[in-house]
Amino acid sequence: MASRLEDQLKALPARPGVYLFRDGAGEVLYVGKAKSLRPRVRSYFQQGLDTRASIRQLPERVVDVEVIVTQNEVEALHLEQNLVKRHRPPFNVRLRDDKSFPYIAVTVEDEYPRVMFTRERHRRGVVYFGPYANAKKVRETLDVLNRVFPYRPCEGPKPGRHSGIPCLDYHIERCLAPCVGYVSKEDYRAIIDQVIEFLSGETDPIQRQLDRKMKDAAAAERFEEAARYRNRLRSVQHLAERQVAERQAADRRSVGTIDVIGLAADGDRAVIQVFPLRDGRMIDRYSFHLENVGGQDITTILESFCLEYYGSAPSVAPQVVVPRDAGDTAALAEFLSERRGARVEVRAAERGE
């Protein structure tokens, strides 16, 4: 072990926080959190204490240890979640075959940004809205948005077709044809800003704008144009009302809403099953495969899974039932409570459940 690394291990604080192992090129190999950094980090460099084959290879590749001290273990969980997403370290627990939830993506760094359906959320230069629980409703939302905001529906970072003429979407007023220069970059960007504003929950500005245009067109006796603005306004109002209704319904359904999590680990792999109960009825079953779990305790595996699963889930159940040997789940409960915006009880399964 290099003397620099030895000095870093000796200087570790006995406080909660996050640790990052880096190789000689500065790449992050592993990110972890600890209630007390000193014993946790040192344990990796004590021979024979870790049964995981891949983790046994880790210390010999570590050249630098970086620690970030936090106020408490919950803050460390939040930080660990963000760092794992950013670096995707090769030695961390990896979730495979996960249920991916739908998002609405706005490619803000494109010259003429797109607004589209996606199930990924890792690209830079993209603003994501969601996750949403229902893919069909996401597509319905996009259909309404495109009728109100004529952004380009074509694929690719640049608009248009090779023919160089506007497509059908221009003629049915679903696009302003930036491909042939019928709209300036500034005016098109203003449309995208309105989309982002609407998806962020600010629906009043576009409703006032459509109402004003409808009345102006009617006053000028452009009745067909006024009817189009009226229809767009009704679509926006319906969409805004549906979003409010869905939030209220979610609050009502919280009674009797439980996620039951089962876990089985063998060697370097594990399987997790999530059984969502709503109003006392099991409505589905989600199965997940995890890699790089050998040598990890159940608490660490469970925390790693919950950080990734509930970090992208559209909602968090008010009660989460975990395996009986899950250990101390106080930090996880507080993390999920912050994620939900209300108290979440994380409790061990009782015999017979």
Percentage of the chain surpassing pLDDT 70?
89
Residue 281 buriedness (CB in 10 A; 0-12 / 13-18 / 19+): exposed
Would the pLDDT of 56 be above 70? Answer: no
Final residue in a domain of this structure, among 228, 252, 276: 252
Number of folded domains that form the chain: 3
Q: Do residues 5 and 59 touch, judged by C-beta distance below 8 A?
A: no
Q: Describe the strand order of the beta sheet including 28-34 as a list of residue ranges.
A: 28-34, 17-22, 64-69
Does the pTM exceed 0.85?
Answer: no
User: Would you place residue 276 in the very low, low, confident or very high pLDDT band (cuts 50, 70, 90)?
Assistant: confident
Angle between helices 298-312 and 330-340 (to 10 degrees): 0
| Same domain? 311 vs 225 | no
What CATH number is associated with residue 7?
A: 3.40.1440.10
User: Would you place residue 1 in the very low, low, confident or very high pLDDT band (cuts 50, 70, 90)?
Assistant: low
Would the pLDDT of 322 be above 90? Answer: yes
Going 144 to 148 to 154 to 157, the CA torsion angle's sign is: negative
- The token pair that represents 343 in the structure block: 């108290």
- The token pair that represents 13 in the structure block: 């604080």
Final residue in a domain of this structure, among 252, 272, 307: 252
| Same domain? 223 vs 278 | no
CB atoms within 10 A of CB 265: 16
CB atoms within 10 A of CB 80: 25
Half-sphere exposure of 182 (CA within 13 A, CB side): 18
DSSP 108: T
| Same domain? 212 vs 236 | yes
Final residue in a domain of this structure, among 252, 283, 308: 252
| Same domain? 247 vs 265 | no
What pLDDT is recorded for position 116?
93
Each residue's pLDDT tens digit, 148-206: 888 998 888 788 766 678 888 888 888 888 888 888 999 999 999 988 888 877 778 88
- The token pair that represents 232 in the structure block: 């767009």
| Same domain? 237 vs 141 | yes
Q: CA of 195: how far to CAs of 26, 145, 147, 154, 213, in Å?
A: 40, 7, 12, 17, 18
Tell me how far apart the alpha carbons of residues 232 and 209 are, in angstroms, rounded to a whole number.
11
In a domain, 267, yes or no: yes
Would the pLDDT of 247 be above 90? Answer: no
- The closest of 302, 297, 294 to 55, measured between CA atoms, is 294
- The closest of 284, 343, 12, 112 to 20, measured between CA atoms, is 12
User: Would you place residue 336 in the very low, low, confident or very high pLDDT band (cuts 50, 70, 90)?
Assistant: very high
Each residue's pLDDT tens digit, 5-27: 888 888 899 999 999 999 989 99
Each residue's pLDDT tens digit, 78-127: 899 888 888 888 888 877 654 567 889 999 888 899 999 998 777 778 88
